[in-house]
Every structure is written in C-alpha cells, then in structure tokens.
Amino acid sequence: MLTLILGPSGSGKSVRLREELRQRARSRQRSILIVPEQFTMQTQKDLVRMHPRHGIMNIDVLSFARLAYRVFEETGVKAAVIRYIGKSEYSFSVPQDVVTKEVHWYLMMADSYYSKPQREEYFVDSGYYKYHEAYHLLKFANEKQILEKAYNEYLELKKNNLWGSHKYF
C-alpha cells in the first residue's frame, strides 16, 4: 500500500511512520520505505535503533536509484523509475502455506528488452508486451486499471517530449 504521511514539522509524521512500520514488521509483512538517497543509511540506523530487538529484517529502506537496482538484481532489467503507479494484492497456495503478496507497480524506462523470470517467486516467464497485448493478458480489473494509468502517464510524458530525456528524474 502506498501511504503518504503529510504534515508540518513536529506534527508526528515520523512517530506515526515508525509505529506503522513496527506493526507491519510484527505481522511479518514486508515494507519498503523510499527516502532520498542521502538519507538511506541514517534512516536504516534510526529504524534499527528504535526497534526493540535492534533489527529490521522485513523493512527495506531504498532510494529510487536503489529500487531500480533491486529491479535489475531480481529481473535482469536495467531500468530507471519514472513514477509510482499503484499496487495490487493477491494470494496463492504453495505446499503447506498460503502466500499473500503485495505488488507495487512503477512506470519505468528500460535500456533493453531483456528480462528473466523470478523462479524463486514461482514465475515461469517474463517479457515485454505492447499495451494492447499486455491488457488482454491481464485477468483482473484492478491490474488493467494500473496498466491504463501507466500507459496514460507514458503518453503524457511523450506528448511533452519528456520520455527518454531524463528530464523527469
């Protein structure tokens, strides 16, 4: 879930964020906290210090650059994050367990069409598709809406001559 916590200085934004992260960690949910590049290390230190056991096993603190690197690491795709688009949730059964997943969607620009499926996540295939092909491959309305939103964002950037120019970073 994308959550924006807004407010003036001293209004409790950091306290609320830490409490939400603590609750998600207790229920074994993974969290990704995106912060400016210069604050990743300090934020990690602060989270470790405030945690009762002084550890943050299921909380990742990433900048957009580190998020792009994570995508490359997991999929083999070199890409730049343009914008956050949304999320979808699903669950499936594996032997002796039910896996619940949150998928966060980003509009990204890749340098090539290479991709590899994440076998450890039970993916058997991955690839690039034209918009209409991808739309018809999706089964759920919320995923089709996310694709539509990403495509409209892409068209807007392209219309304004910003796609591919690195002016959007």
Dihedral sign from CA coordinates of 35, 40, 44, 47: negative
Among candidates 61, 3, 75, 73, which has minimal Cα distance to 33?
Answer: 61
pLDDT tens digits, 20-72? 877 877 777 888 888 877 777 887 787 777 766 666 667 888 887 787 777 77
In whole angstroms, give the CA distance from residue 158 to residue 141: 25
Count other C-beta atoms under 10 Å from residue 146's C-beta.
19
Strands (E), the chain: 31-34, 59-62, 79-94, 97-110
Beta pairing class for 79-94 and 97-110:
antiparallel
Give pLDDT, residue 54: 63
* Residue 155 confidence (pLDDT) above 90: yes
DSSP string computed for 21-41: HHHHHHTT--EEEE--GGGHH
* Residue 136 confidence (pLDDT) above 80: yes
pLDDT tens digits, 141-151? 988 999 999 99
Count the helix, strand and coil residues of the chain and give each as a percent rounded to the nearest 5.
40, 20, 35
In whole angstroms, give the CA distance from residue 89 to residue 143: 10
Give pLDDT, residue 52: 66
* Residue 12 confidence (pLDDT) above 70: yes
- Residues of the chain with pLDDT > 70, as a percent, come to 89
